[in-house]
């Protein structure tokens, strides 16, 4: 049903859909983000030609698309304000809670549900703490993650062809990775990046940084309770 719905979207051929849903290429970040965004576009398709069973499946996909869009936009829409980000997170939390209550682990696994809710709770707590520490400072959601750790891990794994290292070799590799990271931070034009982690154009930007964010993210301009209530 998902594949059939995607093929009905304008601008997607059958071959492109098959490439997007290829389970063998699950590390391609641009492709995954494009797939998730296109799933949210299924809500624009007409229901006239669908039978009752197909309408039920369509509505389930639309709900999934709404949840995915609410999460993806947080990191790909550089114009989102912190207020809109928190509202979107609140909506995601309530939608996941409702579906988990109604369908249990048939909706998503317990581990994934816990990870999503823990991530949302962590963001709200971090914003609240930042408001107390310095309400005039910005809070960048792109920094609430392990992006820098991912980059260091990637550098360590690609320093040599031998990926099985002992403790001494690992310490040497980490030291070298630290020097590489320091050099590239001073000369970002030398860093070509990673093809599978690079998003451009309408799909947004992966591995964004505070300098690239355009929306208002000043914590003092946010009402946490208002954002949480509006997301219901």
> Residue 117 has what pLDDT?
94
In the structure, how many helices (H) and strands (E) does the chain have? 9, 0
Segments of the chain scoring below 70 in pLDDT: 25-27, 145-147, 188, 192-208
Q: Give the whole-angstrom CA distance, residue 91 versus residue 89.
A: 5
**Within a domain: residue 129?**
no
**Within a domain: residue 67?**
yes
**Within a domain: residue 184?**
no
**Within a domain: residue 66?**
yes
Query: Tens digit of pLDDT for each residue in 63-83?
Result: 988 999 898 888 888 899 999
| Contact by Cβ (8 Å): 54, 224 | no
HSE on the CB side for 170, CA within 13 Å?
5
Q: How many domains, in total, are found in the chain? A: 1
> Residue 226 has what pLDDT?
94
In terms of residue numbers, what domain contains 49?
1-76
| Contact by Cβ (8 Å): 34, 200 | no
Query: Tens digit of pLDDT for each residue in 168-202?
Result: 888 888 899 889 888 877 876 777 666 555 544 44
Query: Which residues have a Cβ under 8 Å from the Cβ of 50 and sit 6 or more positions away?
Result: 58
**Within a domain: residue 43?**
yes
**Within a domain: residue 52?**
yes
> Residue 197 has what pLDDT?
52
> Residue 203 has what pLDDT?
46
**Within a domain: residue 225?**
no
**Within a domain: residue 125?**
no
């Amino acid at each position: 049903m998902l594949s059939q719905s995607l093929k009905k979207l304008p601008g997607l051929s059958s071959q492109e859909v098959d490439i997007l849903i290829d389970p063998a290429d699950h590390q391609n970040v641009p492709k995954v983000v494009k797939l998730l965004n296109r799933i949210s576009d299924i809500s624009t398709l007409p229901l006239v030609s669908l039978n009752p069973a197909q309408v039920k499946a369509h509505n389930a996909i639309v709900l999934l698309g709404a949840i995915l869009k609410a999460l993806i936009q947080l990191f790909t829409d550089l114009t989102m304000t912190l207020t809109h980000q928190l509202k979107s997170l609140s909506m995601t939390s309530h939608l996941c809670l409702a579906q988990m209550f109604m369908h249990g682990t048939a909706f998503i696994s317990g581990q994934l549900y816990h990870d999503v809710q823990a991530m949302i709770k962590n963001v709200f707590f971090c914003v609240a703490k930042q408001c107390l520490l310095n309400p005039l400072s910005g809070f960048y959601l792109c920094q609430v993650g392990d992006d820098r750790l991912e980059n260091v891990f990637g550098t360590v794994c690609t320093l040599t062809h031998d990926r099985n290292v002992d403790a001494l070799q690992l310490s040497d590799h980490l030291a070298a990775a630290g020097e590489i990271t320091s050099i590239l931070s001073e000369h970002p034009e030398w860093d070509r990046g990673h093809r599978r982690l690079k998003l451009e154009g309408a799909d947004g930007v992966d591995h964004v940084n505070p300098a690239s964010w355009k929306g208002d993210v000043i914590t003092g301009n946010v009402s946490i309770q208002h954002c949480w209530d509006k997301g219901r």
